[in-house]
Chains A and B, each alone.
Chain A
């Protein structure tokens, strides 16, 4: 190293230490304001659920009804919107459930109603005290939660015999619950859409969620334990038609959830939404109207309610929140620098040649709307198609900027075509492809085409493939929820990224690809030029 080089080295150290100290000082100075409570850091996952019902009227009166969600200690309904499209909407309370009823006098043609709500849910887990013991066997009571029904045959001898077998000698509720849970879980799963009663489920040894739930409830009631069915949804992104049923069992003053279908014992994950209690049917409607329903679920991250209280302490997050910039956008924007670090590592440490300097990070950011597979396929498809157009325009011998403008137009055209295709084939994620950076894609297509012409097809395709690999790693890093939360809460971490870049920027080792390129000279004593 020359003297000047040493100077650079000292400067590098100084810059790094300064940046780290600033970052640390800023984080530490804010800690007291946070009062040791980091709950704000975990943004809440909320679900947007749209229940849509469609039907065809034939000129007669039409009535539809379904259950609407209610807030309780594990779910809170934040926002509700009813789109009746001309039908009368009449929400009612019926034995503790909220019922939505839509009615119309005489309707013809295809109609739809939609009920959209946003719900915040949380996971729960109960510990059942060993103090709870079962009552006398067969002491079925009068209340709804203990009484036998046509489909919950809790007094049937077969059910009673099984319940006696499963009843532990010490009469502990928790042991009995476990025994019943295991027994019901052992039933074969059958994706059956109709209703299965408890006895049939037991006799067949197989059932879907509702058969299991009824058998579970029957076995509880047979031993005098109040139990009821719960109907609702397991919230997963996308459009679905499946609802779900599970069970609640009374233990002391609590209703404890049990899902023998999805193996949740005295617990529920956050993505369960209860719509009604009791043995009910989720949808009821006038016959012969070609009734169809669907649940459309989208999950969102929203700042935890604590963020509002700690605005002053939360820098970026609070600022953007005030400006009304959605957290969804902010959290990916703040990840772009991290994506850039990933790219630098691929370029300078591994020696990966890719298209565009930060193209992979920007593509990865766009992929959050479409999902990786769909988005990357559309990206590659557009690049390849546009590069074909580039090869065609080669024959016209155009000047550079107009040439690029044509490619840009082609990209836009393809995007519109993809959006139209996505719409007719109901692939909403593909439609989000229109959010990709068009200019960057045009330039990439141009580079791809030129590389194919100048450096050969093989080189162009490998570079495209490598670009996609780097996009994948950027995507993995940038969409990591925990990293996003960390960077949102502590944007000072961006300074740490700068320090990493400084060191990568001064790193002089051989790139992995160079170990291969210069393999014949590595570690070999040199034949010095004589």
Chain B
């Protein structure tokens, strides 16, 4: 804590924080002026996003089923027949809430990657919650069933607890900052930095991992596995960048957080686009977005 305040005092003495992008400036100068409100729906609705991206030739995770009303929820047993592993998501949820992943199915017993067992009733309740809008602060939503994605070897090595994703900040169709979010035991398998996921800074130019951060502190090894992190290069980074560059012009939103995953068989996919991408990526990279965008010629 002492150290923290000293940093602030030093920071104030050395000049204002014109490198760092704060919440107010992000909202006013990037979100409000680059992301017209009428197009927010594309980011807020996974189904709509997938439709737009697919049309632009950007790979996304296929939709297996949707539940959009209580009638369909009632038929859950019949509709899920034949599906062994899958993920159920709210179309309008964000931050990973409301996502239920089934890693194994024996009859009507579903097991999550974390080992939690659910019966058909519990699954129905979850789908009903999604449809009812519990995870989307809305009173109607659609539950989307997608195949369970299996991380490609590099990502599987990073964490066996859940799916690591790659976040790229795109501004005016230019990739500005990137990171990988790796679930940990502490984050309960979720790729959310605030919940204790590991953040890896990825250099845009070559996909090299420059830094690793856990709950605000710099680390160089995975907290669960002890695997070294810094200095490795993300395989297929160019493909991921290419996907981002292909997706950006297709979207009417010009300040975005694009979330990608690399599936073992399907390769890189766009999982989600976020119109209000978080600012913690700056701490993970130790690079201020404001300064970075200025360097890239985006103002």
Q: Which A residues contact B (CB, under 8 angstroms)?
A: 1-2, 4-5, 8, 348, 351, 397, 399-401, 454-455, 505-511, 514-524, 526-530
Contact = CB atoms under 8 A, between A and B. Distances in A.
Contacts of B22: 508-511, 514, 518
Per CB-CB distance, the 10 closest pairs between chain A and chain B, nearest first, are: A522-B11, A523-B14, A508-B25, A519-B7, A510-B22, A523-B11, A518-B20, A514-B22, A523-B15, A522-B17
A423 B1 CA distance: 47
Given A400-B133, A514-B279, A519-B4, 11 more contacts: A506-B28, A508-B22, A509-B25, A520-B283, A522-B7, A522-B11, A523-B12, A524-B11, A524-B14, A526-B292, A528-B287
The interface centre, meaning the residue of B12, B14, B24 with most chain A CB atoms within 10 A of its CB, is B24
Contacts of B24: 348, 507-511
Contact of A515 (B14, B17, B19, B299): B17
B78 interface: no
B109 to A, nearest CB: 17
Interface in B1-33: 4, 7-8, 10-17, 19-20, 22-25, 28-29, 33
Contacts of B295: 528
Nearest to B287: A526
12 contacts: A2-B299, A400-B129, A505-B28, A510-B20, A514-B20, A515-B12, A519-B8, A520-B7, A521-B287, A524-B19, A526-B19, A529-B205
Nearest to A512: B8
Interface of B: 4, 7-8, 10-17, 19-20, 22-25, 28-29, 33, 97, 122, 125, 128-129, 132-134, 194-195, 203-205, 210, 279, 282-283, 286-288, 291-292, 295, 299
A522 B25 contact: no
A510 B16 CA distance: 9
Nearest to A399: B132
Contacts, number: 117
Nearest to B125: A397
A1 B299 contact: yes
A1 B97 CA distance: 36
B23 A511 contact: yes
Nearest to B128: A399
A8 B33 contact: yes
Contacts of A509: 22, 24-25
B33 A5 contact: yes
Contacts of B210: 529
Contacts of B7: 519-520, 522
A451 to B, nearest CB: 12
Contact of B28 (A508, A520, A529): A508
Nearest to B172: A2
Given A400-B133, A521-B286, A515 B28 contact: no
Contacts of B291: 526
Nearest to B298: A2
A515 B18 CA distance: 11
The interface centre, meaning the residue of A507, A514, A528 with most chain B CB atoms within 10 A of its CB, is A514
B246 to A, nearest CB: 22
A416 to B, nearest CB: 29
Contacts of A511: 22-24
A113 B237 CA distance: 89
B33 A4 contact: yes
A510 B122 CA distance: 45
Nearest to A397: B125
Contact of B20 (A397, A521, A528): A521
